[in-house]
Amino acid sequence: MVVVETRLPAVEARLIVIDGRLGNVDSRLLMLEKDVGLLREDVAVIRSNYALREDVAVIRSNYVTKNDLSAMETRILKWFIGTGITLATLTFTAGYAVARMLH
């Protein structure tokens, strides 16, 4: 019994220290739960509003490549030259027709 009585104050002192450390655990735990809830809301907003990797991959797959640009340039040049030749031919034909009518 003597051993128990001598150790009892030491154990009580330790319990007081532990109780002091754990005294505000409930309030700290409530704050953490609130913060986790806010983080979940923020992540949900981020996921719904911002582009994901898959979205970026789809956008990048729709980019114009150098081959696409050179093909478009070739098409535009063909149309430009064809239109120029057609207009020159029409102008010459109209001028020739007017000249034949006057003579």
- Render pLDDT for 24-44 as a digit per residue (tens, 0 to 9): 777 888 899 999 999 999 998
Domain boundaries, the chain: 1-63, 65-103
Helices (H), 23-65: 25-49, 53-61
Q: Residues in the chain with pLDDT < 70?
A: 1-5
SS3 74: helix
pTM listed for this prediction: 0.42
